[in-house]
Amino acid sequence: MYDLIIVGSGPSGLAAALEAMRHGLDYLVIERGVIANTLYHYPIARPLFSTADEVELLPGGLRVNTKPTREEVLTHYARVIVSEGIKVRTGEDVRHIVRTGEGFSVETDGGLYSARAVLVATGGFGRKRKLNVPGENDRRVSYSFSEAHPYAMKRVLVVGGGNSAAEAALFLSEAGASVTLSVRRPSLDRETVEGTGPSTAESRADSVVRAAIKPWVREPLERAISEGMIELFTSSQVIEILPLEEKSLPCSALLRVARDGKQERLEIECDHIFALIGADPDTRLLEDAGVELAGDGRPVYDPSTYETNVKGLYVAGHITRELHMKSAMRVARRCVDHIASQILTVT
């Protein structure tokens, strides 16, 4: 029986593993994809929004005072895993977590494990939001963006008003694509939506600042729009993708656009659509284990220990309300400190 099983090998999961090693815990990290799977799908060769000190696992692993690229961070993580001997299994999907008398039974598609405690650090982007319109399918619409070159000389519609959509529109335009950007808000300015979480802390966390486009992204975006490189439609929403035949390409997107107090419909011809409208944590594993969810769709947990209502089952990383990388990694370490204190006291 392991002392601790960590589900997810992102920054928080790996930080938790290093802390478990420091305490001398018998642990295992299980990852359904590749190391740092969410980061792996970040745009190729582009700097992250986070600085080196916010994402590195060990001090000095990345160049200081820089925003490292996806490749630099992935290489850093791989080197730390090898040099520190972190025990991680990739390509193994956790199917069920079941509370037992002694701890937990963790079932994967590759085997059955037992552990005294389980820490779920599967990230906050497990479920990509879809447009949910007629004619939508995975051949016509992508829900993440990794590189622009395949769309050179193509007509591309980007849907979304945040950093990911803004950057994708810029990268595609730079690569020679004809880009249209559709934003639901009346402008590129940010919009705050007050949350309705069940507690004060959760209500604050659920007050979402939407489309907080970073200044260094917004400035070139506005310049590209003013120079006619990107066509922008604000107060717009995709309502249908035509024709409705699933395999028909190219296609066109039917937009509903509000102008001068009136609603009109515009048909935008496109070879592909990127719907970069956000994502939500995949909580199905936690729900199946009996974890209670709050009104914002994230798990309920003790704010000091990050233990859920299922004793011995913890959460860390972006699946919680710690949405900044550095603080999420710090919480993961603190969470393992608590787990170690419980396990080592018993043993």
Q: Are 16 and 333 in contact (CB under 8 A)?
A: yes
Residue with more model confidence, 248 or 61 = 61
Q: What span, in angstroms and rounded, lies between the C-alpha atoms of 182 and 225?
A: 12
What pLDDT was estimated at residue 210?
A: 47
Q: What residue has token string 């970073």?
A: 214
For residue 207, name the pLDDT band (cuts at 50, 70, 90). Answer: very low
The answer to whether residues 301 and 320 touch, using CB atoms and an 8 Å cutoff, is: yes
What's the rounded mean pLDDT across residues 59-80? 92
**Confidence (pLDDT) at 346:** 60
Q: Please state, in angstroms and rounded to a whole number, the distance separating the CA atoms of residues 101 and 152.
A: 58
Residue-level pLDDT at 192: 52
Using alpha carbons, select from 198, 204, 200 the residue that is nearest to residue 300: 198
Q: Count Cα atoms within 13 angstroms, Cβ side, for 207.
A: 7
pLDDT (mean) for 83-101? 96
Angle between helices 70-84 and 11-22 (to 10 degrees): 20
Residue 305: per-residue pLDDT: 95
Give yes or no for residue 132 having a pLDDT over 90.
Answer: yes
Q: Give the pLDDT of residue 154.
A: 97
Q: Specify the pLDDT at position 300.
A: 96
Of 43-47, 79-83, 141-145, 149-153, the one with minimum mean pLDDT is 43-47
pLDDT in tens, 324-347: 888 889 999 999 999 999 887 765
Residue pointed to by tokens 């309502």: 239
The confidence band for 196, taking pLDDT boundaries of 50, 70 and 90, is very low
Provide the 3-class DSSP secondary structure of residue 225: helix
pLDDT for res 208: 43
Distances (CA, A) of 248 to 179, 239, 270, 272, 322: 20, 17, 12, 11, 42
Q: How far apart are CA 2 and CA 26, in angstroms?
A: 5
pLDDT value at residue 162: 92
Which parts of the chain are beta strand (E)? 2-7, 27-30, 88-89, 94-99, 104-108, 112-120, 127-128, 141-142, 155-159, 178-182, 191-193, 208-210, 230-233, 236-242, 251-259, 262-270, 272-275, 279-280, 313-315
pTM: 0.86
Distance between CA 65 and CA 167 in Å, rounded? 22
Distance (Å, rounded) from C-alpha 34 to C-alpha 9?
8
Assign 292 a pLDDT band (cuts: 50, 70, 90).
Answer: very high
Under DSSP, the state recorded for 131 is -
* CB-based burial label for 109 (10 Å; 0-12, 13-18, 19+): exposed
pLDDT surpasses 70 at 180? yes
pLDDT average, residue stretch 234-246: 91
Per-residue model confidence as pLDDT tens digits over 25-48: 999 999 999 999 989 988 888 888
Q: What is the pLDDT of residue 347?
A: 53
Contact 87, 29 (CB under 8 A): yes
Higher pLDDT, 268 or 250: 268
- What stretches of the chain show up as alpha helix (H) in DSSP? 11-22, 37-40, 52-55, 70-84, 163-174, 200-205, 215-226, 284-288, 325-346
Residue type, 171: F
pLDDT tens for each residue of 100-113: 988 999 999 999 99
Average pLDDT, rounded, for the chain = 90
pLDDT band, residue 200 (cuts 50/70/90): very low
Chain centroid to CA 63: how far?
24
Closest CA to 236 of 263, 273, 275: 263
Rounded mean pLDDT of 217-230? Answer: 95
Say how far apart CA 11 and CA 55 lie, in whole Å: 7
